[in-house]
Structure 1
Amino acid sequence: MFDQANPYSVSAAPVDQRAEFIRKTYFHVAGAIGMFALLLSGLLQIPAVVNLAFKMTGGMNWLIVLGAFMGVSWLANKWAHSSTSLSTQYLGLGLYVIAEAIIFLPIMAMATLYSSPAVIPQAALATLALFLALTFVAFTTKKDFSFLGGILKVGFLIALAVIVAGVIFGFNLGLVFSAVMVALAAGSILYNTSNMIHHYRTDQYVAASLGLFASIALLFWYILRIFMSRD
């Protein structure tokens, strides 16, 4: 994942370059979240899109949507890690944000139409609080959490298998699954924040922001599911 052409990782760079990289990364994360929210807000105002959102989860349709999302995510990550073109990196980040907005349509439509108006803001605040806490841990401990990579891969593969089984056999994944996914998303935030500090080059702020945004979106999805289950 990490291009070694530039010998300076963030951890080895001068203090001013480290600070600039971190500032740019979180600026891009904030921009991605803002674009994601605007896209979702606009799409949910279109009745035809809302109807399409509910059809996305019907039967095997959800597996097709998940497969398409995984393919687009792979392409977006490849572009975001491009070492030859900054415009390609931005294209990757933009593509990923659009893909996340589309896959979020069903759950956001259900939350908007069938849950309390407070559910989405509460889930967003809980996500922000947990993200800030995990970021604080990563920066203050200065620990390299790259060892989580293998654990997360296995965890996400198992989770994907459970999701596929749930769609095929029609069983509800329930609160326990959501809680486990929150834990995996939290681990992913630690992992990506650690990579940002210890392994990325100082010119890879777009790729770093994509990784963090992806983890935040996953965390928000399952926290929102937990909050929706209370209504």
Structure 2
Amino acid sequence: RRGEPGELVGVAWGITLVIFAFLTLYVTLSKKDFSFLGMVLPGCLLGFCLFSLASVLFGFHLGWLFAFGGACLFSAFIVYDTWMIMNRMGCDDYVIACIELYLDIINLFLMVLQLLGNDR
């Protein structure tokens, strides 16, 4: 039985919360240097946006593969932005830090929601 659309949103938020908590815990406990992501992620995001635009213009749709790639991309952004907040940003940078994590979480949520809703 398929659930109501509202249930799907709740499940997507739950999955997003678990992923965010796990990634934040990983960055906090690992003490690894994730600065290399700062060079990789902008190019990946540009490619993702161009691919998204091309899919709209040319009418192709990769469904779950596109959503999975987006979820991985925005998970990597959570890792990088969390690392930046912990290691490079100061106390005065709290507004930009909140905006960055907010955007990462919202985009991850949208990709998870798309993954869950692809079979509908």
1:139 lines up with 2:28 in the alignment = yes
Give me the TM-score of the superposition, normalised by structure 1. Answer: 0.49
What is the CA-CA distance between 1:117 and the residue it aligns to? 2.7
2: CA distance, partners of 1:144 / 1:125: 28
After superposition, give the CA deviation of every residue in 1:69-122 in whole Å (9 maximum; x if it has no partner): xxxxxxxxxxxxxxxxxxxxxxxxxxxxxxxxxxxxxxxxxxxxxx63310000
1: CA distance, partners of 2:44 / 2:64: 17
2:52 corresponding residue in structure 1: 163
2: CA distance, partners of 1:120 / 1:228: 9
Q: How does 1:33-48 map to 2 (within 5 A)?
A: none
After superposition, give the CA deviation of every residue in 1:7-57 in whole Å (9 maximum; x if it has no partner): xxxxxxxxxxxxxxxxxxxxxxxxxxxxxxxxxxxxxxxxxxxxxxxxxxx
Indicate if the aligned counterparts of 1:144 and 1:198 stay in contact, CA closer than 8 A.
no
1:203 lines up with 2:114 in the alignment = no
1:227 corresponding residue in structure 2: 116
What letter is aligned with 1:137?
Y
What letter is aligned with 1:141?
S
Q: For structure 2, which runs of at least 5 residues remain unmatched after alignment?
A: none
Larger radius of gyration: 1
Indicate if the aligned counterparts of 1:144 and 1:195 stay in contact, CA closer than 8 A.
no
Which of the pair has the greater relative contact order for Cα pairs under 8 Å at 6+ separation? 2
1:117 lines up with 2:3 in the alignment = no
2: CA distance, partners of 1:168 / 1:209: 33
Identity %: 32
What is the CA-CA distance between 1:157 and the residue it aligns to? 1.0
1:150 lines up with 2:25 in the alignment = no
Give me the TM-score of the superposition, normalised by structure 2. Answer: 0.92
Q: For structure 1, which runs of at least 5 residues remain unmatched after alignment?
A: 1-114
Q: How does 1:35-184 map to 2 (within 5 A)?
A: 116-184=5-73
1: CA distance, partners of 2:100 / 2:33: 16
After superposition, give the CA deviation of every residue in 1:195-219 in whole Å (9 maximum; x if it has no partner): 0001001111111111111110110
Indicate if the aligned counterparts of 1:179 and 1:222 stay in contact, CA closer than 8 A.
yes
What is the CA-CA distance between 1:142 and the residue it aligns to? 1.9
Q: Where in structure 1 do 4 or more consecutive aligned residues deviate above 4 Å?
A: none
